[in-house]
């Protein structure tokens, strides 16, 4: 029998937690090993249970989901993080991505989509709503398609130093999937096909930060 995915749930609404627990425990390949209503509880559960995936809300009591995500990455806890939020704006999604989330799903999505997102994140895939792609690529109306975000600039600078994806992930405290996602965005914005061409653009057009 295939080992079930061990999952921790985090949301400050009891009704949401109960609904998620019932949904996931009904899946043959999933097991909810803990539930939390604030970030401090999340950290305790992660240290005790060492789950495969934590499903994390952005708005939670004394420690926000983003603050909790920062702690998880700072402590290098080996867990996949799926942010499940009611906020579908680009700013929230990019903040989650920059914080090291492995995926982002909306509470307005169907239960099936939520379950699928958890499975995909557990397999190491970066999951984001299709509607988020324009926001995440920085191509909303009126923006400069070549304008990089602060995190993309950091990735590009490390790339120019010769850092591997794993080294960039470690130094920025994000997952390698997140680094790959930023690289894809960089290639699109700079109109290049690989890391060598991206570094060439960086060296030609930008002054490296000291």
Whether residue 208 is predicted with pLDDT greater than 60 in this model: the reply is no
Nearest-angstrom CA–CA distance, 51 and 38: 17
Give CA torsion, residues 154, 159, 163, 169, to 10 deg.
40
What is the spatial order of strands in the sheet that 80-85 belongs to? 30-36, 5-10, 53-56, 80-85, 103-106
Buried b (16+ CB within 10 A) or exposed e, 127-139: bbbeebeebbebb
- Model confidence at 195, pLDDT cuts 50, 70, 90, reads confident
Q: Judge if 35 and 109 occupy the same domain.
A: yes
Contact criterion met (CB below 8 Å) for 138 and 145: yes
Q: Does residue 60 form part of some domain?
A: yes
Which of 80, 98, 132 is where one domain is finished? 132
Whether 97 and 194 map to the same domain: the answer is no
Q: Are residues 84 and 169 in the same domain?
A: no
Residue 117 per-residue DSSP state: H
Contact 187, 193 (CB under 8 A): yes
CA–CA gap between residue 175 and residue 205 (Å, rounded): 28
Long-range contacts, 186-195 (Cβ 8 Å, 24+): 186/148, 186/152, 186/155, 186/156, 188/137, 189/137, 189/138, 189/145, 189/146, 189/147, 189/148, 189/152, 190/146, 195/159
Last residue of one domain, picked from the residues 132, 165, 194: 132
pLDDT digits (tens, 9 = 90+) for 127-160: 887 666 555 555 443 445 467 888 888 999 999 8
Side-chain half-sphere of 116: how many Cα atoms within 13 Å?
9
How many CA atoms within 13 Å lie on the side-chain side of 180? Answer: 9
What global pTM score does this model have?
0.73
Is position 137 within any domain?
A: no
For residues 34 and 193, the model is more confident at: 34
Report the CATH number at residue 190: 1.10.10.10
Residues 113 and 12 in one domain: yes
Q: What is the mean pLDDT of the chain?
A: 85
Residue 27 is part of which domain span?
5-132
Residue 68: inside a domain: yes
Confidence of residue 167 (pLDDT cuts 50, 70, 90): very high
Same-domain check for residues 116 and 171: no
Counting residues of the chain whose pLDDT is more than 90, the rounded percentage is 38
pLDDT single digits (tens) 68-118: 998 998 888 999 999 999 887 777 888 888 788 888 999 988 999 999 999
Q: Is residue 141 part of a domain?
A: no
């Amino acid at each position: 029998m295939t080992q079930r995915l061990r999952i921790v749930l985090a949301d400050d609404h009891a009704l949401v937690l109960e609904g998620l627990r019932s949904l996931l425990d009904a899946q043959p390949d999933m097991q909810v090993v803990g539930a939390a209503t604030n970030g401090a509880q999340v950290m305790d559960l992660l240290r005790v249970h060492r789950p495969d995936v934590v499903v994390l809300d952005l708005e939670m009591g004394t420690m926000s989901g983003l603050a909790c995500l920062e702690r998880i990455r700072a402590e290098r806890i080996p867990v996949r993080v799926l942010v499940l939020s009611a906020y579908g704006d680009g700013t929230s999604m990019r903040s989650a991505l920059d914080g090291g989330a492995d995926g982002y799903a909306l509470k307005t999505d169907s239960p099936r989509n939520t379950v699928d997102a958890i499975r995909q994140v557990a397999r190491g895939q970066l999951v984001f709503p299709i509607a988020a792609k324009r926001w995440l690529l920085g191509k909303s109306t009126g923006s400069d398609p070549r304008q990089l975000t602060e995190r993309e600039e950091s990735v590009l600078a490390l790339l120019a130093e010769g850092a591997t994806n794993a080294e960039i992930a470690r130094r920025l405290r994000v997952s390698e999937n997140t680094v790959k996602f930023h690289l894809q965005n960089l290639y699109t914005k700079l109109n290049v096909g690989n890391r060598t061409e991206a570094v060439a653009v960086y060296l030609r057009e930008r002054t490296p930060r000291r």
